[in-house]
Structures are given as structure tokens and as C-alpha cells.
Amino acid sequence: MTISELSELKRVVDLYDAPDPSPPEKLVADFRRVLTNLGSAASSLTDALPRLQLYNLGNRLWKAVDKRANSAALALGPSARAAEAEVRQVAPELLLLAGFPVKAASFFLRAGQGWLDLGRVDLATACFDKATPLVSALATEDERRILLGLNLARARAASDAGDQSLAVALLGRSKSLASLASAPRKYTRSLAEGYLYVGEATLFAKPSDPAVVASMLLTEALDLFQKLPRPPKKKKLASPSPSSSEQKGRCLRYLALEHHKAKEHADVLFFIHASRDLIGEADEHPSMGFMALHAWLGTGNLAEAERELERLMANANASESLCVGAAEVYLASAGPEAARKVLVALVARCCAGVAAAAVRVVTKVVDCGIGSPGRARAIGELVSDERVVALFDGPANTSHRGAMHTLLWNCGFEHFNAKNYDICADLFETSMLYLSREEGSRVRRAQCLRVLAVCYLALQRLDRAHEFVNEADKVEHNAHCAFMKIKIHLQKNDEDEAIKQIKTMMGCIDFNPVFLMLTTHEAIACKAVRVAVASLTFLLGLYSAGKPMPEREVTVLRTLIELLRREQGTEDEILKYSRRAKLRMSNLGVEGFFGNGPVGARELNWFAGNSWNMGRRVAKEQKYDLSAEFFELAAEFFGGASNDEGDGNHPTLCKALIMSVTSMLKAEELNNSPLLDSDVKKGVEMLSRAGKLLPSIWPSGSVASDQAEANIFLFLHTFYSYQLLDRMDTSAHPQQLQLVKNFASSKACTPSHLLVLGKAASEGTPPNLLVAEFSLKASIKTALASHSPNYRVISAALRNLACLAGLQDLSGSKSDAVYGVYRQAYQIVVGLREGEYPCEEGQWLAVSAWNKSYLARRLNQASVGIKWMKMGLDLSRHVESMKKYIADMEQCLEYFQKMIHSEAGEHALLGKNPDEGSRQEGAPSTSMSGSMSQPVLV
């Protein structure tokens, strides 16, 4: 070793040991460099003088480190303290180079302990590993002392590193060293403290070796503390030192804690009693009372647990948080009934955090369960106590006041969901005690008042609910309050006030159309249809292009119409909103208004079906003007749903068009007001559209009911087409005839249909005689051709045909056409069973034929008269009700014939034709004014 190396080392030590030393961080590098140089020259260090210099420099450096450690200079950060530790470790390195191993081992031990204090277990272990080979247990007392310290320090380092097995092994090695020491009290105490340290670490950290148990280490520590010899008598100490008692109490506390974790309550109580016997209750750690409380609760002894809680509350060393935690644990077992007493005790015990403690206690009570009404009311009474409420006064307790309000609010909401409205109302009202009157709590207060209104509304205490919602409205006027008032008015069946409140609600600044939908639901639930209709009407007024709404317009219209259908006399309103739906469909398109896909199709079909049903309903009530419009709307909706010729809506569309025209003409007849030309034109267009769709209404299968319905609509189309053509000039008569002929050739044609058409043609203004004759004759022909002829239809057709022939002789004669009808009727009557031909019609035929003979006689048409008399007589013979007149009729005919024969003789002498007078207008009737006159049948 050179003189320059020693000089450099001395210079660095001087810098460190100077009155105004340099920062250790700057000197660490110098020490490392010098140590490196000295280590390389250690083999040449043989002279006594350099070794003595190194020893002196090492001692001086160590003393300087101790001096700095005891001064305020080390009140620095972690990096500065680590640098000091590195400087400290230089001293044993110098002593080791100087050849003083035992002294170096002692310094290495203390340097390693310094590293342990800084949490550097790796560096501490390195120091201990360097020191251990330098001493021997078989050498001097100093070496054994140092080796014992090294084992204990290594045990601590191993424990800190998590290697509890090595720590236990090192403690075992230390036992023999402690027994060999000349001062057993000191060394036994160090060993006991080592066991306590490792036992404590094992208790709070799960060891990797399951064989290492904290209770074994703690018991060993306790035994070692118990074995400590008493001090010499010259010191006159009759009892163990207080530090020894504290360490024993600490062992007992940790043993109690381990059994507490294992829930071995009897063992916990045993160690607590042992601790109290040792150091007394006054000086025990507060955690002992907490564990005792737990243990007594575990054994089910609530009385002892309560006493432990009282002791803990009276312990000045117990923190407020520990007292609150103990109260929570006690209440978890004792239940909310003990909450008032515990809370009062906490109020007296706690100072700074009393509000927070109260919140924690009430939270624990709530966690115990508030499902029963009794417990919920107990909580309400507890927190509504004036003393408890007063704990939360002042701005410092704002957060705790909010926490208590939230806690009570959540409790109330739990009962609200369970529909325990009386209980939740009390809790909500109590929660308002913890709301300040400041502006920041205004919204929350208004919300509480509204919820209270809901609770009392559910309890049907409507006046109380009205009071709360009025208070809420004063605090915060908004749409929620207005909606609540609507609900209350609905419950009171005050529909007028509810509608007024809807208008008020719509004027609120936070109004949203959703409230109108909610109002509608509430009104429907209360069966207040008028309010629901008003709400939906207001909602419809808010729809505009691009404005987001809570519900689609088509849904609102459908719901509104459905509600109106439940009321009487609302057909006009239903028609108005149906028209609106049709207009919106025209403006927005079918998919734009009703929607896409199956949903849109269902909506459209609903409106079409509703219009159809409404048309039928008002038609039954003979409100034909409304019926015509409903059927027209139905046609528009069904037409909007049709996409191609094979569409399933075509049959209904066709029927709706026909029914609309039908109602239009029936309204004209009922109101006795002729249709306008525009209406006639519209009717013709609708029937023209229907005519194109008529093939679609025929059923695909042979279903009798569907076939009959199809026949009816085809007839109605023909009949009303004829009626509308009749409104035109006489040039339409050929079209009418062709229309009827087309119908007569169809499968839908029946004799009854032809009879109706014939009567309509004969009664027209002017009558269409061609159509009438064709229809009536076709009716008779068709009826006779059936397997079971309907003689009522035939008889009615014959009567109308006879009357028609009387208006105009189609063959050019005044009587031949009429006589032909009667002749046809006679041929039909002959051979029928009695009563098969309508009696009254047969009687009419016979009587009218007989009476025609009277007219012929008056006109001096003898042969015509006889012909009609014979026709009347022949018909009478086949009519049951006329048989009583047959004898008189035969006698009259015979007499009349004799008169004719006698007059014929006279005319022959004079050279005249007997019927010549019939062709001379106004000729006198001398021969037929005899004594016996022809009877006129009525």
C-alpha cells in the first residue's frame, strides 16, 4: 500500500468528518474508489504502521457516522440516508483490511442493521454474510455476543425477505448462544424479541412453509420473556421492568389475534384474560377490547359484549374509528333495537368525527336488515331524534349529511319497490331532515317532495299527496309536478282539472312530449277516456317535420281512434282523425307514415279495417253520410296497401268502393236531397274502379257464404251503376240495358236481383221500359228454371210485368201484351199445390183480370170483356180464396154471353158487326145496360 493511497483515504475521511461536511452522495464514489485501490494492495499490507493507520481511520469514520446519525443532518430523503449507510459500511471494510476481524464483524453487524432499517434486505444480508465467518462461538465472550447478534439480525432479514423457515432456523441457532452467554438476561431478552419479531411477521404474512406457525413462535417468545432472570437485588427492583411487561402483553395480544383470525373465541378470551392479569385493563392495548367484543359475540354472550363495548368507549387510548368499528360489530349481532343506546354512547365518545360515526352506525343497522316494518320504523325514529340530527349541523358535516340522506333515501326506495308505501313515506320524510335549505339542495328537496306525493297517492291519501306536490311545485316548478297533479286529479275523477293541468304542463320549461304519453297511459288506467283523448290530441299538435317525438304519429292516431271508439257519438271525431291519417299517408307515402315491413303493413291494415268497421257500424244506425266517407277512406287505405293485381286487399277494396256508393245513395234517399253532379261523378268513378276489381272477390273454393257475399256485391255494383246512369240523360238507357244483360248472364244473378232491377227500371224518372221488361221476364224465366222455384219472386215479377204492359203495349195492341202476361200467369198457376203460389198474388191476378172485363164492357168491347171474364174465372178456380165467388162469376159470364148473342142477332138483321161499337169511340152502350150488371171484384 502506498503513502498516496493512505493520504487519499485520509483526505476523504477528513472531508466527511469536517465541521461542515460535504453531502454524502458526493463522497460515496470517492470511498468506493479508495476501497477498490486498497483491496488490490491488501496483499502488500504487512507493516504495522499502515494497518494501525487504517484502523484509526476506520474508527474515526465510524464515530463520524454515529455523530451524524445523532444530528439533524440525517433528516433527509431516502437517497441521502442510503448514501450515509454506504459510508457506514466503509468503516468495517477498513477494519477488515487492517486485520481486526472481530471489530470488523461488530461493525458489519451494525451496518447491516442500518440497511435493514432502510428496507434493503439484500445489502443487509451481504453485510451479515461478511461478518459471520469472522467470529466463532467457541472463542471469546465478545465473539459469541457478536455471533448471537448476527443470527438474530439474519433471522430478521430472512423474515423480511419472506423466508420464515430460515428465520426460525437462525433463531434456533441463537438459543445455544444465549445459554452460553455470561449475561443471560440480556441475551435471552434479545432472543425473545427475535422470536416476537418473526412471530409477528408470520402472523401478518402467510409463510411459504406451512410448518411455520405464528402461535409457536409467539409462545416461544412469551416463554423466553417469562424466563428472564430477575435483576440483582442491589438494584432493588421487586418486579419485572415495564418494558418486559409490555413485551409479554404484546405476545399475548398477538396470540389472541391469531386465534381471533381462526374464530377460536374461547382461546381469544383466555389470552385476553391473561394479558389483563399481567398488565391490567387500564394499560392494555385497545385492540384487546375489540377482540374481546368479537369473542363474546362469537359465543353468543351479548351482555358481556356490551360490557366490552362500554370498556372500549371509556378507554381514552382507543381511537374514534375503533370505537365506531366496535359499535358496528356489536350492532350486527344485537340488531337495530340497540342502535339508539350505541349511537348516544358514540355521541358522547367521539368529538371530531361524530357525524361520520353516526353514519357508519346507521349504515350497519341498515345492513342488518330493514325488511320488517318494525325495524324500518325503528331506524326512522333513531335518525329523526333531535340529538342525532343536531350532530350534522355546520358546513363541516355537509358530506356526512348527504351520506345520511342518501342512506335513508335508499332504505325508503327499497320499501317503495316492495310497495310498503306507508313505511317508505316515513323514511323519505325523515331523509329530508338531512337536507339543507340552501339553493344547492333545492332540486333534491323537490324530488323528495314529489316522491312523497307518489307514496301518498299510492296510499289513496289524495289530499296529502296534493299538499306535497304543491310544496314541490313551489320549490321547483316543472313538468314533473304538473304530471303528478294530473295523476291526482285523475284519481279524484276530476277530468276537467286534469285537462287544464295538461295545458299547464305543456307550458313548463322542461316539458317533453313523453309526459303526454305518460298522461295518456295514466288516463287509460283510470278509465278517463276524455283525458286520454285530450292528451293525445295535444300530442298530435306537436308533430312537425324532423322533430323527434316519443311515439310515431301513426301510433298516436291509432290509439286516439281506438279510445274514441269506446265512447258514444264520437263518429265525427273518428272520421276527422281517420282523414288525417289518410292525408299524412298521401303526404309522406305509405312507408313514410305507416312504416316499413310487417309492422307498417299491420298499421295500414288496422286503419283500413277500422274504417270498414266504422262504415258498417254507422250504416246500421242509418248515418249513411258518415258511412259513405268511412267506406271511401277504407278504400283509400286498402288501395294504399295494394301493390299488384294479385294483392289480397283487392277484394276488400272492391267491396269498400261499392259500399261507399251504396251509402251515398242511401243518404240521398234518407235525406231527400239530390246528389250533386260532382258526387255523381265520384260515384261513377268509384264503381268503375270496383268493376275492374270484381273478379277478385270471387272465392277460389266453393264456399257457400263467400259465394253469396260475392253475388251480393256484384248485384250492388250493377244496381247502383244503373242508378247513377239513370241520373244522366236518356242516352244512357242502352248502357243500362247492356249493364243488366251482362249481370243476367253472370253466375251471381238471381231471380230476386232481376226483380229488384226490373222494379227500379219501371219506377225510374223516366222509366226504362226496355230494362224493366227484360229484367222481369228474365226473373220469371230464371226462377222457373230452378229446381225449387220461388213463387213469391215469380208472382211479384208477374204483377210488375202486368203493370208494365198496361203502361205500354209492346206488340202494338192495347190488351194483347197484358193478356199475355195473365195467360203466362195462368199457365204457371195451373197444376200447383194449394198454397204453393202466394194466395194474395193469385187473388190479385184473378180480381184484376175480372175487373178488366168491366172496362172492356164499358168500352163496348164485348169479345174482350168475355175474354177477361173467362181469364178471371179460370184463375179463380186455382185460387182458394176466390172459390166462393166462382158461382156468381159463372152466372154473370153466362148472362153476359146471352146478352151478347141477343144483341148479335139484332145487329145481324141490321147488317152490323157486334163489336163495331168497340171501334167507335164514344158509341152508346145500349145492350150492356140490362137488368143484370157485371160485378166488380175488389
Give the three-state DSSP class for 429.
Answer: helix
Q: How far apart are CA 200 and CA 217, in angstroms?
A: 9
Residue 182 pLDDT: 55
What Rg do the C-alpha atoms of the chain give, in angstroms? 61
pLDDT band at 925 (very low <50, low <70, confident <90, very high): very low
Residue 369 DSSP symbol: -
Q: Is residue 721 part of a domain?
A: no
Q: What is the mean pLDDT of residues 169-195?
A: 75
State the angle between helix axes of 733-744 and 704-726 in degrees (0 to 180), rounded to the nearest 10. 170
* CA geometry: angle 761, 763, 766, nearest 5 deg: 80
Ramachandran region, residue 597 (left: φ > 0; alpha: ψ -120 to 50; beta: rest)? left
Q: Judge whether 842 and 882 are in contact, CB under 8 Å.
A: yes
Residue 557 pLDDT: 95
pLDDT band at 52 (very low <50, low <70, confident <90, very high): confident
Residue 706 pLDDT: 61
Ramachandran region, residue 182 (left: φ > 0; alpha: ψ -120 to 50; beta: rest)? alpha
Which of 150-154, 207-211, 305-309, 378-382 has the least mean pLDDT? 207-211
Q: Is residue 855 part of a domain?
A: yes
Instruction: Judge whether residue 493 has pLDDT over 90.
Output: yes
Q: Cis omega (within 30 of 0) on the bond before 766?
A: yes
Q: Is residue 887 part of a domain?
A: yes
pLDDT band at 909 (very low <50, low <70, confident <90, very high): low
Q: Is residue 819 part of a domain?
A: yes
Residue 503 pLDDT: 94
pLDDT band at 930 (very low <50, low <70, confident <90, very high): very low
Q: What are phi and psi of 145, to 5 degrees?
A: -60, -45
Q: Which residues, 6 or more positions from 304, have their beta carbon under 8 angstroms from its beta carbon? A: 296
pLDDT band at 497 (very low <50, low <70, confident <90, very high): very high
Q: Judge whether 253 and 285 are in contact, CB under 8 Å.
A: yes
Q: Which residues, 6 or more positions from 575, have their beta carbon under 8 angstroms from its beta carbon? A: 614, 626, 629, 630, 633
Average pLDDT, the chain: 82
Of 602, 627, 623, 625, the residue nearest 613 (C-alpha):
627
pLDDT band at 472 (very low <50, low <70, confident <90, very high): very high
Q: Is residue 641 part of a domain?
A: no
Residue 526 pLDDT: 92
In terms of Cβ atoms closer than 10 Å to its own Cβ (0-12, 13-18, 19+), residue 70 is exposed
Of 484, 482, 486, 492, the residue nearest 462 (C-alpha):
492
Domain count, the chain: 1
Instruction: Judge whether residue 335 has pLDDT over 90.
Output: no
Signed CA dihedral, 207, 208, 211, 212: sign only: negative
731 vs 304, higher pLDDT: 304
Instruction: Judge whether residue 103 has pLDDT over 80.
Output: yes
Residue 229 pLDDT: 63
Q: How far is CA 509 from CA 478, 483, 485, 502, in A?
A: 7, 13, 17, 14
Q: How far apart are CA 4 and CA 37, in angstroms?
A: 11
Which of 61-75, 808-822, 915-929 has the least mean pLDDT? 915-929
Q: Judge whether 97 and 54 are in contact, CB under 8 Å.
A: yes
Percent with pLDDT over 70 in the chain: 85
Residue 208 pLDDT: 62
Residue 675 pLDDT: 85
Hey, how many other C-beta atoms are within 10 angstroms of the C-beta on 192?
Answer: 24
Which of 130-134, 483-487, 856-860 has the least mean pLDDT? 856-860
Q: Judge whether 434 and 414 are in contact, CB under 8 Å.
A: no
Q: Which residues, 6 or more positions from 413, have their beta carbon under 8 angstroms from its beta carbon? A: 424
Q: Which three cell numbers stand for residue 422?
A: 306507508
Q: What is the mean pLDDT of residues 45-64?
A: 77
Q: Which residue has the cell 484502523?
A: 55
Q: Which three cell numbers stand for residue 334?
A: 344485537
pLDDT band at 916 (very low <50, low <70, confident <90, very high): very low
Q: What is the pLDDT of residues 501-546, one digit of tens each?
A: 999 999 999 999 999 999 999 999 999 999 999 999 999 999 987 7
Q: What is the mean pLDDT of residues 241-263?
A: 81
pLDDT band at 352 (very low <50, low <70, confident <90, very high): low
Of 48, 151, 39, the residue nearest 97 (C-alpha):
39
Q: What are phi and psi of 201, to 5 degrees?
A: -65, -40
CA neighbours closer than 13 Å in the CB half-sphere of residue 305? 23
Q: Is residue 605 part of a domain?
A: no
Q: Which domain holds residue 821?
A: 814-900
Q: Which residues, 6 or more positions from 26, have their beta carbon under 8 angstroms from its beta carbon? A: none
Q: Is residue 825 part of a domain?
A: yes
Q: Which three cell numbers stand for residue 268?
A: 381469544
Q: Is residue 884 part of a domain?
A: yes
Q: What is the mean pLDDT of residues 843-870?
A: 86
Q: How far apart are CA 932 and CA 377, in angstroms?
A: 117
* Range list of H helices, 18-140: 24-40, 48-69, 78-98, 101-117, 121-131
Residue 239 pLDDT: 45
Which of 251-255, 456-460, 574-578 has the least mean pLDDT? 251-255
Q: Judge whether 191 and 168 are in contact, CB under 8 Å.
A: no
Ramachandran region, residue 589 (left: φ > 0; alpha: ψ -120 to 50; beta: rest)? left
State the angle between helix axes of 101-117 and 141-160 in degrees (0 to 180), rounded to the nearest 10. 30
Q: What are phi and psi of 573, to 5 degrees?
A: -65, -40
